[in-house]
């Protein structure tokens, strides 16, 4: 029997890049996020941004996040036990864009930071996680990036469901 998640992961590039996980949480609860503290989960959507610059690139890092970690390593691993990955957005290149993406989410209309420092223990960002009541649009995210950072790379999107699998543009040809 074919494994649809395996097929989806195989379509992700091995190249380095920056990614956003769009996660859906169905019910509210308090969760402990390692030594960072307790976070109150609300029903809705969470967007987590990160970079995948090491071996395995985007495919390796996103595969780790899609599987639920037996022993949490990163802050996102704690959230993953209570929220499912709904979509993945990514951009292929060797630049560490996660900080720009995090800043764009901070100012996104309808977004809020649920726990300061989440995913940002190695930088000065307020958080690499943002909460939205409804699912954020990839196109709106691209507009936020362009307006906040003059970002010239578009995110590609892969919703992790085979019937909705799509490969979108990697680069913006002109602004």
What's the whole-number mean pLDDT along residues 108-128? 88
Residue 147: pLDDT over 80: no
* H helices present in 19-128, as ranges: 57-66, 75-80, 98-106
- pLDDT tops 60 at residue 133: yes
Q: What separation in angstroms does the CA of 100 have from each of 3, 5, 55, 89, 140?
A: 34, 29, 22, 14, 15
Q: What is the pLDDT of residue 47?
A: 94
Residue 69 confidence (pLDDT):
77
Tokens at residue 84, please? Answer: 């499912």
Q: Which tokens belong to 152?
A: 């010239």
Check whether 58 has a pLDDT greater than 80: yes
pLDDT digits (tens, 9 = 90+) for 74-101: 889 989 889 988 888 888 888 888 998 8
Inter-residue contact 141 to 157 (CB < 8 Å)? no
pTM of the model: 0.83
């Amino acid at each position: 029997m074919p494994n649809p998640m395996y097929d989806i992961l195989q379509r992700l590039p091995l190249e380095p890049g920056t990614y956003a996980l769009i996660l859906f949480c169905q019910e509210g609860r308090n969760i402990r996020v390692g030594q960072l503290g307790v976070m109150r989960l609300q029903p809705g959507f969470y967007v987590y941004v990160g970079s995948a610059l090491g071996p395995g690139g985007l495919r390796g890092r996103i595969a780790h996040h899609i599987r639920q970690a037996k022993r949490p390593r990163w802050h996102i691993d704690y959230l993953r036990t209570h929220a499912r990955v709904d979509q993945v957005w990514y951009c292929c290149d060797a630049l560490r864009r996660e900080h720009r993406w995090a800043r764009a989410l901070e100012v996104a209309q309808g977004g809020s930071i649920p726990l300061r420092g989440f995913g940002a223990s190695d930088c000065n960002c307020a958080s690499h996680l943002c909460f939205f009541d409804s699912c954020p649009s990839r196109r709106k995210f691209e507009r936020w990036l362009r307006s906040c950072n003059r970002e010239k790379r578009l995110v590609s999107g892969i919703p992790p469901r085979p019937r909705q699998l799509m490969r979108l543009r990697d680069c913006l040809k002109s602004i």
